Structure 1
Amino acid sequence: MSVEFPSLSNLPARLFPRKPGRYWEIDLLRGIAVLAMILYHFLFDLAFFSIMPVQVETGFWRYFALATASLFVLLAGLSVTISAARAEQRSGAGWPYCRLVRHGLTVFSCGLLVTLVTYLFLGDLAILFGILHLIGISILLSLLFLRFKHLNLLFGLLCIGAGQVVAGINGPLWLLWTGIHPADFASVDYTPLLPWFGVILIGLWCGRMLYPGGQRGFRSLPPAPQLAEPILFIGRHSLFIYLIHQPILVGILMAISGSWI
């Protein structure tokens, strides 16, 4: 009597089920960005806790971090365009963007949670306006820019240019969100609206160009490779993974070092 074992060919799909209506190429890019972020933060923690002298604030790893954050923010803007287009198609006479507003507020609230936790553990180096604050506020602001369509590319470039100007301006702490900050300000993550909202606006433009009406504007892609399913899963749950990855990394470093770091 032969024993039949279940096929492993579709095991990744069973372990990491997909949600309908999502574009796998976007989830793949977001998942890659999450993995790159985890790698950078692990190296940052090694340097921050004086475990290993890794130069993460200059040179290659600095550009690696900027590229990772840029991909995250660009995809956030692109996703707003897709979500907004689909919301407009579903809505009747009412205002279609309620889900986007809730999502923006949720992301910003997670940013406030990060502020609280980092203030308790890092004090003056706490994250007061990091990437979650930026994305949450930017989702809300993006709703005002959807009407500008292709002009968002120009506006985005102008925001990036303005960010280079305000970066050299010192001012009160309450202007931190703009890119203006006190001369002695320091934080482990600072992602102000200028220049980063410019990347969001470029993402809006990319979304309109590549996904007009919330649909692929280019030839359909083949199904996602089975081996990519774990990365797609990470991309679909990027917010949750962002919130838990640093406690996990710190726990790993504590286990390795055998003490509270």
Structure 2
Amino acid sequence: MVQIHSPLLSFFLLSIRFIRRFLFRPFVKKTSSERFWEIDALRGIAILLMIVYHFVFDLNYFGLYKADLDSPPVLLFLYPISGTFLLLVGISLTVSYSRAQQNLSNRKVQVKFLKRGTSVFGLGLLITFVTWVYPHDGYIVFGVLHCIGLSILLAYPLIRFRTFPLILGLLCIILGIFLRVTVMVDFPWLLWLGFVPSGFFTLDYFPLLPWFGVVLIGIFLGNRFYQNNTRKFSLKDHSQSILSRGFCYLGRHSLIIYLLHQLLIVGLLYVIQLVINGSRIV
């Protein structure tokens, strides 16, 4: 029988308790009839596929399964997932903005988005700290939560515009691709923007260029298809089907799922690795 006496396992259990106590209630909200089910469903599909990718990534990291995560098929699987997730961030911002405008003063709307952006960015900093503790190598400096949090803050002044977010979004994507392909720097201070130093390695990286551009395109689509909190296209209602309800549930709770799933996967694989190796870690 394997006995586990590990600071990592203790930290893992304490992290779960912390997230359940301090993060679960503020971010999990009751289902509202005002929500657009298709947005929740698409977000749920994206978060499910992201979990699949992270599971394979963790299997590879722990040496339980070898996979070439930089191969074209894997990247073709990963980038559409990330793009969909951030596109929906932009769409959701326009929907949330329209609802807030109907019920709150401009000052309160500003405060609402400021709190939301800083809260998500703060969770990104928590992820930075956790990955700095373990595994440390490749700890996350500017991952998806950092990107979403800062994007919310930067996008707020642009939500009311109809076409400008599309133009600026396309420019951000083009510039981001250009930076990734052609520019290499010897300093880390602009990692958040997309300037990657030589030899840089991280477990998760979503710089503003190009990913803020995807959020901006989502804002354009949100203003086009969900203007004034009203769906501007016809869509058959599948919200009550078993599959849709499952995806919608995942989509409504995507933030807490994102925070918890890696802890659970890493904890499970860590224990499996101990059992396979038959070792005792002190």
Asked if the contact 1:83–1:100 (Cα under 8 Å) also holds between the matched residues in 2, the reply is: no
- Please name the residue that 1:122 is paired with: 135
Q: Which runs of 4+ in 1 moved over 4 A?
A: none
- The 2-side partners of 1:244 and 1:93 are apart by 34
| Residue 115 of structure 2 corresponds to residue 99 of structure 1 | no
* Deviation digits for residues 172-231 of structure 1 (CA, Å, limit 9, x no counterpart): 212111101321211011100001111011000000111001211112542503302222
Equivalences for residues 1-261 of structure 1 within 5 A: 18-92=31-105, 94-167=107-180, 168-219=183-234, 221-227=236-242, 228-257=244-273, 258=275
- The 2-side partners of 1:247 and 1:143 are apart by 31
Which moves more between the two structures, 172-181 or 249-258?
249-258
Asked if the contact 1:150–1:205 (Cα under 8 Å) also holds between the matched residues in 2, the reply is: yes
- The 2-side partners of 1:248 and 1:179 are apart by 30
1:155 deviates by 1.0
Which moves more between the two structures, 219-228 or 203-212?
219-228
* Deviation digits for residues 204-261 of structure 1 (CA, Å, limit 9, x no counterpart): 0000111001211112542503302222111101110001101111122234331689
- The 1-side partners of 2:161 and 2:79 are apart by 27
Q: AA paired with 2:102? A: Q
Structure 2: state its 5+ residue gaps: 1-28
1:63 deviates by 1.6
- The 2-side partners of 1:147 and 1:93 are apart by 12
Asked if the contact 1:170–1:181 (Cα under 8 Å) also holds between the matched residues in 2, the reply is: yes
- The 2-side partners of 1:93 and 1:184 are apart by 45
What TM-score does the superposition give when structure 2 sets the normalisation length? 0.82
Which moves more between the two structures, 118-127 or 220-229?
220-229
1:59 deviates by 2.0
Structure 1: state its 5+ residue gaps: 1-15
SS at match of 1:177: coil
1:98 deviates by 2.0
Of all paired residues, the percent bearing the same amino acid is 41
Q: AA paired with 1:249? A: I
Q: How many residues align?
A: 246
**Higher normalized contact order (CA 8 Å, seq sep 6+, divided by chain length):** 2
- The 2-side partners of 1:17 and 1:132 are apart by 22
1:109 deviates by 0.7
Asked if the contact 2:142–2:192 (Cα under 8 Å) also holds between the matched residues in 1, the reply is: yes
Is the alpha carbon distance of 1:254 and 1:21 closer, same or farther for their aligned partners in structure 2, counting shifts above 3 Å?
same
What TM-score does the superposition give when structure 1 sets the normalisation length? 0.88
- Please name the residue that 2:12 is paired with: none
